[in-house]
Structure 1
Amino acid sequence: MNRKKLWMMGLLAVAMMHAKANIRLPDIIGNNMVLQQQSKVKLWGWADPNEKISIKASWDNIVYETTGSRDAKWVMELQTPAAGGPYSISLQGKNRLLLENVLIGEVWLCAGQSNMEMSGSWGLQDIQKELPQAHQQELRFFHIPKTTAAFPQEQVKGAWVVCDSTTLNTFSAVAYFFGKHLHQQLRRPVGLIEAAWGGTAAEVWTPDSIVNSNPVLKKAAGLIQPSGMCPYIPGSAYNGMIAPIVPYAIAGVNWYQGENNTEAATTYRPLFTAMIHAWRRAWNQPLPFYYVQVAPFRYRKVNAGALLREAQWQCRVIPHTGMVATNDITGNVNDVHPQNKHDVGLRLANWALADHYGIKGVAYKSPEYQHMQVKGGRAYIKISGAEGGLKLRGDTLSSLQISGADKVFYPAEAIIQDDTIVVWSSHVKKPMAVRYCFTDTAIGNVCSNAGLPLLPFRTDQWTFPGF
C-alpha cells in the first residue's frame, strides 16, 4: 500500500473518530424548550465511553461534569431556579453544543386520542379566532409525531417551537387553551408536550406488561377493533411516544381519551387506574393527572358511553386526579368531536390552578351525586359540591329518569331545593333508582352556582345487557 493511500486512510480514521465523539441530545432537549421551574431536571444524551462532558447553564453558571458510560450514554441533573428566562445552556465534550432561548416555567404533558389531537387545522373556530394574536413568547409547544414501537424507545422526533399563528394552528387546541390560561394566571412560561393519536384505546398507552399480566385487561384488549388509522397492540404508543420523554421533568398530565374503550366500558376503571400508576412510576413521582369525561355521543353499543363516563367518574378517587365534565358543552351527539375546546382547556387549567398550584377561589370541581333518600313517593337526591345551591339552565330539568323495583325507567319530574333535587313520577309509586344524564346522548342542564355542570350519575348498580 503506497503512502498516499495510508495518508488518506489515516485522515478518514481521524474523521470517523471525531464523528463518533460528538455528544448528542434527544430532540426533546433543544432550543426554545421550557424546563420545569425549581426542580432537579435531567439532561441526557449520548457520547463516547469515558468522554468528558461539562454543562453550564446561564442561570447560575455552575459547571456540571460527567462522562460517557460504557453504553455510550450520559445523564446530568441540574437544579432550576424560579420561573424566568430566556437562558442558555452550553454543553462541551469533544464538540460543543449551545442551547438558546430556554425558559424556566411549568411543563405539562397533554395526551390522549382525537379530541386532544384536534387543532385549528381541523377547522375549530375557537382557534381561528386566536390566530391573529397568537404570538406568545412564553408559551412553547413540542409535538410528538405518531410513533409506535415494540419496546420502549429513547428518542422521539420533534422540536420546541414558540407559539405563533403557524405553530398554534397545528397544535392541540385543548392543550393550548389550558396553557394560555395557566400562563395568564401564574405569570410563568408554560411548555406543552402533545402526545395524541386519534382512535387509540388506553391499552396502547399503557405498558404491555401491565395489560398482558392481567387476565381481565388482556381480554378487554382483545376487543379493540383494529383499523387502518391507529395502533391496537398494548403498549405500542407508550413505547414510541411516552417512554422516550420520561426523563424530562414535567409538572403533570392532561388526558382526553376514552371513546375507543366503550366496547369494554366496565373494564376502563382498572385499565385507566393501572395506566396512571404506570406513568407515575415511570416519572417516579405522583404526577397530578387531570382528565376529561367523554362527551355525549351516539355510540354503536347502547349504554357504552354512559358506562364509560361512570368508569371515569369512579377513577376520581385516585389521589391527585381530577375530572372535567363535558355533558353541557357538546353541540351534536352524532359527532364524536365536540367543537368547544376552549371550555375543556379552561376547566383543565382551573383544576391545575386550584388542586396543584393551590390558588384560592377557583371554581374547578363539578357538583356530584352524594346520596338518595326516599320519602312519600319522592326521591331526594343530595348533591355535594353545590355550595350556593344548584342552578337550572332552562325551564325544565332534562335527562332525568326514575324507576321502581321493576327496573323500568320513566322520564321524571323534579324541582331543585338548594343542594337537593326532588324527583318523582306518576308512574313510580315507590322510587328505587334515579339516573341523570345516564344515557349515551343525554345533555345536562343542571349546574353549580359557578356554572360547572352536574356530573352524570345513577343511584342503582343494576347491570346492563352486553356488559
Structure 2
Amino acid sequence: MRCFKIICLLLCFSTALFAREGEKLKLSPVLQSNMVVQQNQPFKVWGHAPAGTTIAIQADWMSSPVRVTADADSRFIGIIPVPVAKKGDFTRHRITISSDDEKRLLDNVLIGETWICSGQSNMQFKMHETLDSAREVPAADYPQVRLFSAGLNFSNEPLDSIGGTWQECTPASVRTFSAVGYHFGRELFARLNVPVGLVFTGIGASAAQAYVPQEVLAADTLLSRVYLQPYLDSPKSQEKIDGGFTFEKVTRPFLLYNAIIHPFVNLSVKGFIWYQGESNRAERGSYTHLTQTMIQSWRAGFGQGNLPFYYVQVAPFWYDMADATLADYAFFREAQEQVSKLANTEMVVTMDVGESRDLHPKNKKPIGVRLAKTALNRTYGFMEVAFQGPKFDYATFENQQVQVHFRPETVRGGLETNDGKAPAHFFVAGADRQFYPAAAKIEGGRIILTSLKVRRPVAVRYAFTNFPVTNLQNKDGLPALPFRSDDWPEITPKK
C-alpha cells in the first residue's frame, strides 16, 4: 500500500512537472503572487505565449480586461491602470492573466510603493548579521511589507528571467534579507501606512561598471577607455559566462546589469536605493561619472521618468593602514558626494555609524532610516522630515581662529555631538599645506577652531581622512558631512 502511494505521488509530481514544462502562457518571474504593485502608475504585465495568442489581463479593480496579442517573437506586454493606494487599505487583490486555454493567477497582491535596493555587500548585509538582530528580527512581522531577493546571475546579453520569490515580511523571511533595505521599507511603511515592496538585486564585492549596459559604456569615451575596452581586450571576455560567484567576475562591466537589473525594467517602481563603492575606491572622477551614467541608464531602461536615486556614502575603514592621517578614502568619498549633483539624487552619510576596523559595520538600522527620511522629504513631500546633516557652507580665517559655517537649512536647530564631547576630526593647515588637529567648540550653528601648531590657517578639513568615526551632528541627529575648504590636489603617499 505504501509503495502504491509513493508511485502515485511520483506520478502526480511527474504530471505536474510536465504540465509546467508544457505551459504555453508564461509570465515574467518578476510577476508573482504576494507582490506589491506600484500605486497610481500604469502597471506592465509581460511574458511569453505562442505568436498570435490573445491574452486577457484583468485585475479585480478593473471593470473589464485589457487584451493584447503575443508578437512574432512570442512575447506579450499589456499595461493596466492601478489606483491610488489609500492609507490603511491593505486589501489583497487578484490579477488574472488568461489565454483561450490557460490561466495564470497573481493572488495576495497589494497596491503600494515598490523600491529597488541594489549595490554590494553593505546593501546585501543580512538582517540576522546586524547589531540589533536579536531584537529586530523577531519583531519584523509586517505582512503589508513584501520582500524579493533576486538570485545571482551573470550574462553577456540582457536577460528577461530572474530567480527569486515574493514573500510577506516575517521574522523568517526577513532574516536573510538586506538590513538596509528592510529598515528603509519599514520606516516608509510606518509613515505612509500603505504596503511597501522591496526588491533586493545586488551582490557583495561588485563594482559599479558591472551595473551599466554595454552599449552605454561603449558610447561614452571615458567609460569605454577606463572600464569597457580593457575588459573586451582581455582573455576574460572570451570565457564562458555562468552563474557562479567569483570576486573578479562581479567587477566585470555590464554582466550584472544584463542578469540582475534588466529583468526588472518593465516593473513599475517608485525609485532606487544604492549602497556601493568599496570596490571602486581607487577611482575619483571616473567613478562619479560612471555612477551618474549608471543612474541615467537605469532611468532610461525603466522608462518611468526621472526616478529618485538615493545612495549611501561608504563608511570609515582603515584598509589595514593604521596611519590616521591618510586621506585616499576621503577623496573617494568626495567623489561619491559629487554624484548628487545629478538631479533627483541624494547621499546618506555613515561617518558616525561606521567601524574603522570593519568593512561591514553592523549598525545598519540608522542607514536604512536615513534613506527613508530622504525619500519621505524628497519623494513624498514630508517637508518637516529632516534628512540632511550639517553641510559645509564656508569658513572664515581670522589670525589663529577659524569659523566654520554650515548651510542654514542643515543646522536649523543648531549643532551637538552624539557623545557630549567636543567635536572631533577637525584639521587646519597654513600656507605650507600641512594639516594639524584643531580644537573645536560649538557656537550655535557654527564651529570655532584653533590650533597652536598653525599660526595662520588658510584651510580646514573635517573627517577628511580614511577612518574617522565622527560625533558631530545637528539637533535632528543627522551626522555632518565630511568636507574640505581647499581644492589642493590629492597627494599619493610614498610606499
Q: TM-score, normalised by structure 1?
A: 0.91
Task: Give, in whole Å, the separation in 2 of the partners of 1:82 and 1:286.
Answer: 20
1:294 to 311, 314, 324: 314
2:204 to 183, 194, 198: 198
1:354 to 368, 377, 397: 377
SS in 2 for 1:59: coil
SS in 2 for 1:102: strand
Please tell me the residue identity of whatever aligns with 2:292. Answer: T
Runs of 4 or more consecutive aligned structure 1 residues displaced over 4 Å after TM superposition: 16-21
2:450 to 410, 424, 434: 424
Task: Give, in whole Å, the separation in 1 of the partners of 2:195 and 2:182.
Answer: 13
Residue 304 of structure 1 corresponds to: 328
Q: Does 1:271 align with 2:271?
A: no
Q: Does 1:90 align with 2:114?
A: no
Cα pair 1:220 1:264 within 8 Å, conserved: no
Cα pair 1:32 1:162 within 8 Å, conserved: yes
Task: Give, in whole Å, the separation in 1 of the partners of 2:431 and 2:453.
Answer: 12
Q: Does 1:44 align with 2:70?
A: no
Cα pair 1:266 1:307 within 8 Å, conserved: no
Task: Give, in whole Å, the separation in 2 of the partners of 1:365 and 1:335.
Answer: 25
Out of 143-152 and 107-116, give the one that drifted further.
143-152
1:263 Cα deviation from its structure 2 partner: 1.5
- CA deviations 1:179-237 (Å, max 9, x no partner) are 1111111010000000121101111111223334444334543899x993352211111
Q: Does 1:149 align with 2:152?
A: no
Task: Give, in whole Å, the separation in 1 of the partners of 2:487 and 2:55.
Answer: 61
Cα pair 2:205 2:251 within 8 Å, conserved: no
Mapping of residues 307-326 of structure 1, within 5 Å = 307-326=331-350
SS in 2 for 1:263: coil
Task: Give, in whole Å, the separation in 2 of the partners of 1:29 and 1:275.
Answer: 25
1:372 Cα deviation from its structure 2 partner: 1.7
1:54 to 53, 56, 59: 56
SS in 1 for 2:268: coil
- CA deviations 1:292-311 (Å, max 9, x no partner) are 11100013685332112111
Residue 158 of structure 1 corresponds to: 164
Q: Does 1:335 align with 2:358?
A: yes
1:443 Cα deviation from its structure 2 partner: 1.6
Residue 6 of structure 2 corresponds to: none
Please tell me the residue identity of whatever aligns with 2:118. Answer: A
Q: Does 1:239 align with 2:262?
A: no
Q: Does 1:106 align with 2:129?
A: no
Residue 242 of structure 2 corresponds to: none
Residue 76 of structure 1 corresponds to: 78
Task: Give, in whole Å, the separation in 2 of the partners of 1:372 and 1:186.
Answer: 39
1:178 to 175, 184, 192: 184
Residues 18 and 342 from structure 1, CA distance in 2 versus in 1: closer, same or farther, beyond 3 angstroms?
Answer: closer
1:345 to 359, 364, 368: 368
Task: Give, in whole Å, the separation in 2 of the partners of 1:18 and 1:67.
Answer: 22
Residues 62 and 410 from structure 1, CA distance in 2 versus in 1: closer, same or farther, beyond 3 angstroms?
Answer: same
User: RMSD in angstroms over aligned alpha carbons?
Assistant: 2.2
1:111 Cα deviation from its structure 2 partner: 0.3
Task: Give, in whole Å, the separation in 2 of the partners of 1:151 and 1:78.
Answer: 29
User: Structure 2: which 5+ residue stretches go unaligned?
Assistant: 1-17, 237-244
User: Structure 1: which 5+ residue stretches go unaligned?
Assistant: 1-15
Cα pair 1:117 1:197 within 8 Å, conserved: yes
SS in 2 for 1:231: helix
1:403 to 429, 437, 444: 429
Residues 19 and 61 from structure 1, CA distance in 2 versus in 1: closer, same or farther, beyond 3 angstroms?
Answer: farther
Residues 328 and 17 from structure 1, CA distance in 2 versus in 1: closer, same or farther, beyond 3 angstroms?
Answer: closer
Out of 56-65 and 99-108, give the one that drifted further.
56-65
Q: TM-score, normalised by structure 2?
A: 0.86
Residue 459 of structure 1 corresponds to: 485
Mapping of residues 207-222 of structure 1, within 5 Å = 207-221=213-227
SS in 1 for 2:91: strand
